[in-house]
Amino acid sequence: MTNIHALIESKTNQLKDEIISFIQQLVQTPSLANEEGPVQKLIFNKLQSLNLQSETIPVKFDDIKDHPAFNDDGFSPDSRINVIGQWNSNKKGRSLILNGHVDIVPTGPEKLWTESPWSGAIKNDRIYGRGSCDMKAGLASGIFAVQVLKSIGFEPSGNIMIQSVIGEESGGCGTLTNIVKGYRADAAVILEPTSLKLCPIQSGALTFRLIIPGKATHAAMRWDGVSAIEKFNIISQSIIEFEKKRHNSFSVEYYESPERVAPINIGTIKGGEWHSTVPESVIAEGRLGVFPGESVSDARMAFSQHLKKVSDSDLWLKENPPILEWFEGQFESGKTDVEHSIINNLEMAYKEVNNSSSKIEGVTYGSDLRLFTNHADIPAILFGPGDVRLAHSANEYVKIEEVLTCIKIISNLIINWCEE
């Protein structure tokens, strides 16, 4: 271990209590969509305390609505902001973005939580609470990597930009705003929960709505009607088979489970009007997975053609086909070449801290990675503390030791990347 790596190790460990406290503050500050202001103020104040060039960026849909990657999440007041902190260099080394989102998903029934989802409670060396894993601890890791390097007197040869963004969970309006406004770097690390695996590939995800028609009649003479629920069952079962066929038709690398690269899920179902009436309609909403390298239009077409094929095989659905709508989150897939130097440098930083190699893996969920790779020509990778399987769940948590390790790795990455 070189002297600077030893200093990073020592300083990170010294800051442990401060790191934990800051993550707790972030968790204790709810930041659901359209309610991100208070937590962004915390972030802004923290960046200012590090003497970074700090600014707030208004997120206005009028600025991005004409962009092909725009997704309307239903919220567009002028009070929504991104926060950016820049550590600028007077040299010409490579620059780096450290990106993380502060918006979180709803907690679900609080009775399912052992502690309050806003507690930031610590148990068994874990920080609990909504957003702890996804992804406030990751964002904090990037911030403290900068703090560690500043505190040991390191000066980067390239610019470092911390981006605290909103709107990732519902389409990416925050990161897209930064891109449209011209914020660029030579590479980006998105500090999503990857269990410290290197994830330069993401599947896409398209939100859809199906409206399945039926024919209402009194339940006592149900044979004179057509149950929309029964017709939905035909479609839902066919979707399971469609998912299998899609996976058999695509060849992908770097995924832990190749048969689970682009999952299809029905998330909500609303059907029927009265217990004694044959249901006249069913509205089902879900997500269609998009394979790496597959275009959004091709994925939509494949799904639409499948629905037509199923409908044509049923007398009622052939004459009364389901209506397919695409709405809200429309995440493309995204990819950075696994041989890119940002991947190699992150691998090197990982080895310097852990004396072992990390794993390169694709992820099945959508993220802001595709905005950097597809719309800003910026190579990007997902890397951060936390297990994504805990995200969006009750009793979400992040391991403290994993956060500290991430800070050390990102600190080393900054040295490796910017000095070349």
Bridging pattern class, strands 96-101 and 160-165: parallel
Distant-in-sequence, close-in-space partners of 297: CB < 8 Å, separation ≥ 6 = none
229 vs 33: CA distance, rounded Å: 33
What's the Cα-to-Cα distance from 298 to each of 101, 207, 295, 322, rounded to whole Å?
A: 29, 15, 5, 20
Unique residue bearing structure tokens 């020509």: 377
391 vs 31: CA distance, rounded Å: 15
Residue 168 known to be catalytic: yes
Query: What would the 3-class secondary structure string for 232-294 be?
Result: HHHHHHHHHHHHHHHHHHCCCCCCCCHHHCCCEEEEEEEECCCCCECCCEEEEEEEEEECCCC
Q: In this structure, which amino acid lies at residue 94? A: R
Of 134, 168, 294, 332, which residue is the catalytic one? 168
Residue 155 known to be catalytic: no
Of 9, 36, 73, 103, which residue is the catalytic one? 103
Catalytic residues: 103, 168
